[in-house]
Amino acid sequence: MASTLEKFIHSLDPRALPRVLQIQSGIYFQGSIYEMFGNECCLSTGEVIKIIGFKINKLIASICENNEVSRFSAKVELPLNFPGLYKVVADKIPYVSVEEITRKVSIGPTRFGHPCFYSPEDIKLANLTIKHGEQITFNSVEEVNGTMAVNCGVVRNNQYHSFTLPLSQEGKFYECEDDQIYTLKEIAEWKISKCRNRIVKLSNTLHTWDCPNPLPENFDGCLILTPVYEVQAVMKFRKDIVHILSDLDVEVKDITDCYDISSFLQPLSLEDVFERTSKEFPMVVEIIEGPSGSQKPYNLLHTGNEIIIYKKYQATRVLASEIRSDSPKRHFLIPMSYKGKFKRRPREFPTAYDLDIARSEKEQLHVVATKAFDSPHKELFSVSVGDQFLVQQCQTSEVLYEGRKKVIDVLSCEQILSDTYKKVLLPMYMEGGFVEVIHDKKQYQLSEICKEFRLPFNVKVSVRDLSIEEDVLAAVPGLQFEEEITDSYLLIGSTSSPVESWEIPVYRLNMSVHLLSRDAQTVVPPATKTTVEEISEEQYYMMRRYENQTLHPPPRPPKKPT
C-alpha cells in the first residue's frame, strides 16, 4: 500500500531498518535531479531505494494555544541549533502498552533517555504493586528470561526500587511532567515521539542568533513542534549515501519482504564495524562517506579511499580543558601515548572544603588567601588577603555558639609567618578563595601525573610532543586535566602506504564504509601515531554527563551554622 514518504518515515520503527522502498508517484515521476547536501539523485517512478537511517533535520513550529495550533499562527522553520531553552509539556494522549512506548519513545543510556510515565490504575507485579499515579522511570530495554522487557524503577521514601515490565504489558501510560529544560537539539534527539508532535514552552531566550528571529518579538509562550526528517538512503547503482528530506512530495511503497536486499551496497557505520567480533579483524573497507580535514588521520578518510581496520578496543584518554576566565574554552582528549612533558600550574580553591579534598600524602599543600574571611567564632581563625597556609588535616573542634558548646568540622593549617609557623583552625564551611603555591619544578609525563596526583590537576606543556606534526596542546597557556575516561576506538591504516596506524573514535566520527575484504595481508599493525583530539563544547558536556553518571558526587560542604 502506497503512502507519502513523510507518513512512512513518521511511522517507521528504527529497529525495522533497513527498508526497501519503490517510488510510486510524485513531482519527480519523470525523473528529475534532486540535490540535497551536495548529493544528487534521480527519483523516478519505479526507482528502488534502501532506507538505512533517518534523523530529525529541522522542526516546523506553530504557536500553541490551549494545546492546539493557533488560528492566527504561521508555520516557521526552526533549525536544531536555534537558540533558547525549552520546557517539555507532557503529552495528554496516553500510550496503550509498554511495547508502544519502546517503539515510539527514545530510551537510551544517557539521562535524556530515561522517560517517566504513570498509570491511572495500579499495576500488580509478582513481588511489587505499582500504585496509580506513581512515577515510573524507563531505563533500558533488554531480554529477560527469553522475553523482551523494560528495566524500570520507582522511588519510595527516598529508596529506589527496580523492576521489569514486559513489552506485552497493556494499560494506559501517561507522560509525567518534566521540570528539566532542554535545547531544541536535545528535544529533537530525545523528546519527540514517533508519530507525535511535541508541545514546548520557551523557558529562556538566548540572544546569540545572528539571523532574523522567526518567532514573534518577546514571545514567551508555547510552540507545537513537528519534525522533518533527513533520510539516509542507498540507490541501486551508486556507492555513496544520498540524503532526502522526509517532506519531499513523493509516494512510496515498502517492498522489503519481496526484494533481495543484499543486491544493494551494504553501508556500515563505525558503530556497526565496532560491533563485529574481534575475529573478523583486520578488514579492508572503502569509505562511502567520510569527515573533511587535511590533517592526518582525516586525510585518509576521504570518500572513495580504502583503509585497513586492524582491530577494535577500548582506550584511556585524559579529558582536559583550557584554563581561561572567559569562554568558550577548548577541550581535548589526550592519549596516554602523548610524549610531551608538563609543568604544574597553580590550582584555585573556592572553599576550605576544597583544600581538604585536594590535600595529599605526597606533599604538603601550600596556598595563599585571595579573599578575606571573618570568623564568627573566636576559637577559629579570621583570614586576610595574602595570608599563607600549609594545609594539615581535617578534624573537629568545639566552638561557643549562642552560649552553648558545639562540635563542628574544621581544617587544621599552619599559617606561615615571617620567621615562624602558627597553628590555626579554619571552619570547613568557610567560603574564601585560595591559590596554590607551586614549589615543584619537575617536568612530568602524562602517565606520571595520572599515577601520582589526584585529578583535577592544572598544567602547561613545557616540552611539546615532537612525534606530532602540530601539537595543539603546546599553544595552550594552561590546561586542567579533569578526569580519565575510557572510550571505543578502531585502529586504522592506509592500504596504499601501511607504514603507520591511527586510532579513530567510534562515536564521534560520522563515517560510513563498505566492506571489501576480510583477508587483509598486513595482520600486525605498524607503529601507532599519537593524536590529540579536540572536541566540541557539546561533545564535552555529553561526555561529562555520561561519565559522571557512574560517579557518586562528593558530599556537600558543611553549611555555616545559623
pLDDT band at residue 34 under the 50/70/90 scheme: low
Q: How much is the mean pLDDT over the chain?
A: 85
Asked whether residue 456 is domain-assigned, the answer is: no
Q: Both 115 and 233 in a single domain?
A: no
Asked whether residue 558 is domain-assigned, the answer is: no
The domain tally of the chain equals 4
Q: Both 10 and 139 in a single domain?
A: no
Per-residue pLDDT, 112: 80
Q: Both 368 and 485 in a single domain?
A: no
Q: Is it the case that residue 562 has pLDDT exceeding 60?
A: no
Q: Report the alpha-carbon distance of residue 216 to residue 202 in Å, rounded.
A: 12
Q: Both 190 and 60 in a single domain?
A: yes
Q: Both 260 and 275 in a single domain?
A: no
Q: Report the alpha-carbon distance of residue 301 to residue 289 in Å, rounded.
A: 8
Cell reading at 321: 580543558
Q: Both 70 and 189 in a single domain?
A: yes
Residues in the chain: 562
Cα distance between the two ends of the chain:
72
In 301-404, alpha helices (H):
352-358
For residue 407, what is the enclosing H or E element?
strand 404-416
pLDDT band at residue 298 under the 50/70/90 scheme: confident
pLDDT band at residue 28 under the 50/70/90 scheme: very low
CATH code where residue 150 lies: 2.30.30
Percentage of residues of the chain with pLDDT beyond 70: 89
Domain that holds residue 393: 348-437
Q: Report the alpha-carbon distance of residue 169 to residue 175 in Å, rounded.
A: 16
Q: Both 249 and 307 in a single domain?
A: no
Q: Is it the case that residue 41 has pLDDT exceeding 80?
A: no
The string of pLDDT tens digits covering residues 213-248 is 777 777 778 899 999 998 988 887 677 788 888 888
The string of pLDDT tens digits covering residues 497-554 is 878 899 999 988 888 898 887 666 656 888 888 889 999 887 887 777 554 444 444 4
Asked whether residue 561 is domain-assigned, the answer is: no
Per-residue pLDDT, 447: 93
Handedness of CA 188, 193, 199, 203 (dihedral sign): negative
Per-residue pLDDT, 191: 92
Q: Report the alpha-carbon distance of residue 543 to residue 79 in Å, rounded.
A: 24
Q: Both 364 and 429 in a single domain?
A: yes
Give Cα 359 distance to the centre of its chain.
Answer: 31
Per-residue pLDDT, 480: 94
DSSP helix, strand, coil percent of the chain (3-state; round to 5): 15, 45, 40
Q: Both 365 and 231 in a single domain?
A: no
The string of pLDDT tens digits covering residues 430-443 is 777 899 999 989 99
pLDDT band at residue 289 under the 50/70/90 scheme: confident
Asked whether residue 150 is domain-assigned, the answer is: yes
The string of pLDDT tens digits covering residues 311-366 is 999 999 999 999 987 767 899 999 999 999 999 999 989 888 888 888 887 788 99
DSSP category for residue 112: G
The string of pLDDT tens digits covering residues 58-109 is 999 988 877 666 665 678 888 888 888 899 999 999 999 999 999 999 887 7
Q: Is it the case that residue 414 has pLDDT exceeding 90?
A: yes
Per-residue pLDDT, 560: 56
Q: Both 358 and 423 in a single domain?
A: yes
Asked whether residue 26 is domain-assigned, the answer is: yes
Per-residue pLDDT, 173: 97
Q: Is it the case that residue 459 has pLDDT exceeding 90?
A: yes
Please give the torsion angle defined by the CA atoms of residues 531, 533, 534 and 540, in that order, rounded to the nearest 10 degrees: -160
| CB 395, CB 418: distance < 8 Å | no
Name the least confident of 17-21, 38-42, 141-145, 376-380.
Answer: 38-42
Q: Report the alpha-carbon distance of residue 432 to residue 417 in Å, rounded.
A: 20
Q: Both 41 and 171 in a single domain?
A: no
Is the entire prediction scored with pTM above 0.75? no
Asked whether residue 37 is domain-assigned, the answer is: yes
Q: Is it the case that residue 37 has pLDDT exceeding 80?
A: no
Asked whether residue 518 is domain-assigned, the answer is: yes
| CB 336, CB 514: distance < 8 Å | no
Per-residue pLDDT, 70: 62
Q: Both 10 and 23 in a single domain?
A: yes
CATH code where residue 430 lies: 2.30.30.40
Asked whether residue 560 is domain-assigned, the answer is: no
